[in-house]
Amino acid sequence: MKYLSEYRAPELVEQYLAELHRTATRPWTIMEVCGGQTHSLVKNGILSLLPTNVRMVHGPGCPVCVTPLNLIDKAVYLAEKCGVILCSYGDMVRVPGSERSLLEAKANGGDVRILYSPLEAVQIAQQNPGREVVFFAVGFETTAPANALSVVHARRLGLTNYSILASHVLVPPAMEAVMDDPETNIQGFLAAGHVCTIMGVYDYVPLVQKYQVPIVVTGFEPVDLLQGILMTVRQLERGEARLENQYTRVVSDDGNPDARRVIEEVFDVTDREWRGIGNIPRSGWEVRPELAAFDANRKFNVNIAKVSECADCIAGQVLKGIKKPSECSQFGKRCTPLNPLGAPMVSSEGACAAYYHFAQAEAPVSV
């Protein structure tokens, strides 16, 4: 297949669905790790077409959703109190902190700018030598190369007024944390294709071996996801546990060596707090000590106390696949995209946002 339309082709969708209905003889629970996969499943009405004994649950693969409250509070503080130019991707600015979001900080006079690339932030630092510029570097392995490159580029330019506020998180440790949670009952995973494009697939082999669960790397179009679900169900029905790659048109076993090299040049692995989940050992990246001048955490040394989540928000249970967004008592009531109680309702990859915008519509598969 060469064209996007082929990955949304109704005849292929029907073929995979028919085979799924023939293949699934027992109840199976499969987690799609990435929020982009969740949005595609919900938006295209795929969940309602699956066999009733194949249950999809939604995972922690939304980096905006798992950015801890105190780090958002720190970004707000930098914008409001430290006079920095705070730059961010657009889906981060409306995520609520303990008191307000970056968008509200902007409304209060903070210099918050929405960018498409961290290299734009480096350019802003060049243009404003008298101002500190901080890029809120949020993301999984997918966005890490670009954020790392911004540090490399700023260092080559000799800039002393550019830094990143790093909140990078890693997918495999999160999957391990989900499997170790006694409340979860995940029997197979769809791994995120864009993450594997960068990092390759080898990090998932130990998870397959340790937990004896199938892991299938997939893309994000309807045909990708249905083929990935079918591949997972085939393994489950046969009692197998293997790593498979559905997304072979993009993902190679080794990933992108150049991207991985620049990540290793700038970042070290560290423990990371995940919003709604808690601390996960060795699940994130922080700027290496020798690049401390480009690390906003070290540069500004702002201590923001940890704050508890809203008691009525079940985002943590949604992110671990324990509950569906619609099972929250505040879903669509007190919690809406315009007034979110938690990040999954406002992020473009959040499961709650997907259900709010698309689940009720029962949208047909796009063609």
The full set of domain ranges for the chain reads 69-170+267-300
Mean pLDDT over each residue of the chain, to the nearest integer: 93
Is 270 strand, coil or helix? strand
pLDDT higher than 50, residue 227:
yes
pLDDT the model gives residue 360:
55
pLDDT at position 361 over 50: no
Question: Residue 3 — pLDDT band, cuts 50, 70, 90?
Answer: low
Write the pLDDT tens digit of every residue in 286-327: 999 999 999 999 999 888 878 788 889 999 999 999 999 999
Please state whether the predicted TM-score (pTM) of the whole model is above 0.85: yes
For the stretch 242-256, pLDDT in tens is: 999 999 999 999 999
- Cα–Cα dist 98/279, whole Å: 18
pLDDT at residue 4 in the model: 66
pLDDT at residue 107 in the model:
95
Mapped onto helix, strand or coil, the DSSP state of residue 54 is strand
Phi/psi of residue 81, nearest 5 degrees? -105, -25
Contact 149, 119 (CB under 8 A): yes
Identify the pLDDT of residue 307.
79
Q: What percent of the chain has pLDDT over 90?
A: 87
Q: Cα separation of 226 and 220, whole Å?
A: 10
At residue 86, the pLDDT reads: 98
pLDDT at 196 over 90: yes
Is 69-170+267-300 CATH 3.40.50.740?
no
User: 264 Cβ partners below 8 Å, 6+ apart?
Assistant: none
Query: What local confidence, expressed as pLDDT, does residue 303 receive?
Result: 83
Token pair for 356: 């709010």
Q: Which two three-digit tokens encode residue 227?
A: 């083929």
Residue 86 half-sphere exposure toward CB, CA atoms < 13 A: 31
Tell me, letter by letter, the H, E, C secondary structure of 124-193: HHHHCCCCCEEEEEEECCCCHHHHHHHHHHHHHCCCCCEEEEEEEECHHHHHHHHHHCCCCCCCEEEEEH
